[in-house]
Amino acid sequence: MRICELCGARYRGTPTTCPLDGGRLLELPDPLLGRTIVGRYLVVEKIGAGGMGVVYRARDASSASDVALKFLLPDLSAEVTNRQRFLREAKAANRIDHENIIDVMDFGETDGQVFLVMEFLQGIALAEEIARGPLGVSRSIDIAMQCASALARAHELDVVHRDIKPENIYLVADATRRDFVKLLDFGLAHMKGELRLTASGAVFGTPEYMAPEQARGAPLTGLADLYALGCVLFEMLTGTPPFKGTTPDLILKHMREPAPLPSTRAPGVPPELDAVVAKLLDKQPQRRHRDAYHLLEDLRRIADRLPAPRSAAPGSDTLINRETAPRVPSLSLPADSVASVLPGTWEQRVTVFRQMVSRAYPGHTEPEWIVPSIDALQSRIAEVRTLERELHGVTEQAKEREAASRATRLRVGRAIGELGRDESRTLGRLDELASVLSDARRRLVDSEAKLARMMRGLHTLGATVSRESASTLREVGGIAAQWIEIDAQVTTALREIAVCERERDDLRFQISQLKGRLGTSGAELEIELGAIRERAAQLGAEREAAVDDLQERALVLLRHFSAFPELQDAVRSASFAPDGRERVAPARR
């Protein structure tokens, strides 16, 4: 894409001067701006960059909505491992599909560039909000609960984020709540069963929020994400993370130094919330919350005793329709303004060119090449229209399959979430019963030893009945009754444990069946969408080439007619397309 340094007109192709004013045409600094990716996503503006990628706002031709288009940095694209890690974000987010996790709708490759298509969010990163000061208890709990809800679903589907931090938590405001959380950047996520993309023992993550086991390079579970969320909750409450220092200092502190309680830095934090944060930040993973559902229960109990925040926190039982969850609405462009890179004015342009011939050469003395050139331009326009219709059909086919797959993922994901909550409660009950059983067995051993000692002394009583012998027998009987009662408690606990274990196993079986169904559905969709994406990319490339050819043909005619002073009005009307995207030469700015 080139732009006139004088009038700002944009041109595709390889022209060097503007036919309107002779101005020099300069290459736009970003070659992606103005491009249509895989025939569907028009790149509008650059909105950010990170360690692995660059993010643009783009318009989705199939839905007339804005999306975020993330490209892997060119210098990283050559490495297969980098490309796989980049696409991991799409695969992880697609596997989960939760209202509090950013929606990754599409991904692919074009001209050697790997890209993701995500919902375009309007809001603020949690890191920016914390920079203004502590968020307060109610608001911090609300945000933490939404994060925990998202992580519960992710962990249930065997996805560990590995980089939970305020920069990856986005707050979107809508009409119903102040802070609707969107968890971002699953680029470092690990999915069970995937091939290892990093060396064993390699450490990834952000030091301020890194669990001790993550710092050691040990295999990670979802408990590492809970530790990181504990650091984030601490920071929301106090304005600072639990530990400060250089990277080596931070890693050592996370591994060895007990975390301070939030109330030592923010006196308004209640003791029960101190206890939750302390549990999350325990150095030993097994002493943290057993899972994100468990954390949700603890946070809800605290939230229920606090004044309601400006917006109610969603419970773990809240089922929000993905279609109604907050996301960045588009700019509300009319559908036909984004559905085609070739606006209807191209046909009008042909008409104007024919009128120019009549005005410039009233005696039909035009050069022999002009009318055939206009005829060829008209034929080429028809070819592009055919390509666009086919591309539209392919895009609609992809949309329908994506929508059907999304509905399946949502339905199955919610079912897995319900079963996961039940499993978590069952595991909690098993923990309680294990504690009861351990205590009962200890008391049973003590009672049995005491009873055995007393029974060994019974032979000294003889056959004579006396007050002393009766008293001894009564004491022995009391201890025996106690032993019987404790033994019954052990038996009851064992029976209840067996019931809970069967429930746990049944729940795990149901979850595994649903996961298998989800995996099969996802694999089938990926194969189908892969073929659709390939066809769309091919059609998009053909259309781009055809449009470039149209531009070149139109420029030849414009240069010719711009030499006629009496045709300047017609030249301008044939030079600009009102859609503001694919232009031969737009109006002056």
Binding residues for ATP: 70
* Active-site residue, selected from the candidate residues 163, 225, 274, 298: 163
Cβ neighbours, 10 Å, residue 31: 11
b/e string for 298-317 if b means 16 or more Cβ within 10 A? Answer: bbbebbeeeeebebebbebe
Return binding residues.
70
Judged by phi (left if over 0) then psi (alpha if -120 to 50, else beta), residue 375 lies in alpha
Q: Is 103 a catalytic residue?
A: no
> Distance between CA atoms of 77 and 70, rounded to whole angstroms?
13
b/e string for 365-400 if b means 16 or more Cβ within 10 A? Answer: eeeeebeebbeebbebbeebbebbebbbebbeebbe
The residue whose two tokens read 């503007």 is: 18
* Residues paired with 37 in a beta bridge: 41
Spatial neighbors of 121 by CB under 8 A, at least 6 apart, are 68, 102, 170, 172, 182, 327, 328
Please tell me whether residue 244 adopts helix, strand or coil conformation. Answer: coil
Spatial neighbors of 522 by CB under 8 A, at least 6 apart, are 94, 95, 405, 409
Torsion sign (Cα): 228, 279, 220, 508: negative
Please tell me whether residue 215 adopts helix, strand or coil conformation. Answer: helix
> Distance between CA atoms of 402 and 103, rounded to whole angstroms?
12
In three-state form (DSSP H/G/I as H, E/B as E, the rest C), the secondary structure along 140-207 is: HHHHHHHHHHHHHHHHHCCEECCCCCHHHEEEECCCCCCCEEEECCCCCCEECCCCCCCCCCCCCCCH
Smallest Cα–Cα separation from 163: which of 226, 115, 71, 228?
228
Residues acting as catalytic residues: 163
